[in-house]
Every structure is written in C-alpha cells, then in structure tokens.
Amino acid sequence: MKVRLGVPEAPRIEAVAPVDLRKVKADRLRIGILDNRKGNADRLLQLLVEGISAAIPVSAVIALRKATPSMPAPAPFFDQLVAETDFVISAMGD
C-alpha cells in the first residue's frame, strides 16, 4: 500500500535540498502530532490519525500540544518528536 503525503507550503518540494530519509518499519509506524491549540485542530488531527491507522499499522501516536497558538512550540517538543516518531502531522483549525 502506498500513502501519498502532501506538504502545503512553499517552496515546492522539488526545490528543497534533499534530506536524509528515515527507514520506517511497516509494523511499527510511529506518528507524531503537533497540535497548535487553534479551534478544531485537535479534531482534524484525530481524524487524520484515525484514517492513517485504518490504512496502515500504527504502533504509537505521540501527541504534543502547544501552550498557546500564538507562540512557537518549544525546542524540547521537536527533540521528542524527532526521537520518538517516524513522521509528524501538524494542523491548524478554526
């Protein structure tokens, strides 16, 4: 099964320098969630996790929530997500 992920930001992916690819084992996909605390972001993220989990095996979901939507996530959040997940989903709601 293939899962296609889109990144809705500029510059286009083709224009970005390549980065190291993570090797992900199909039986232990770990999803990271970064909730920015905007209204309905938590619902959108939950729907995405449910959809992914229905399509492919997920062994863990690490969900972190910012203190406020107007401030950036603290550096330890990113350190934890890098260490404990295979990819991260972040969303805004309203």
pLDDT tens digits for 23-80? 777 678 899 999 988 888 888 899 999 999 998 899 999 999 999 888 888 999 999 9
pLDDT at position 16 is 54
> Is residue 2 situated within a structural domain?
no
CA angle 56, 7, 42 (to 5 degrees): 65
Q: Is the pLDDT of residue 81 over 80?
A: yes
Reading the block at residue 70, the tokens are 């107007």
Give 59 or 9, the one with higher predicted confidence: 59
> Is residue 7 situated within a structural domain?
no
Query: Domain span at residue 66?
Result: 39-94
> Is residue 16 situated within a structural domain?
no
> Is residue 26 situated within a structural domain?
no
Q: What is the DSSP string of 17-61?
A: PP-PPPP--TT-EEEEEEE---TTHHHHHHHHHHHHHHHS-EEEE
Determine the Cα–Cα distance for residues 18 and 20; give it in Å rounded to an integer: 7
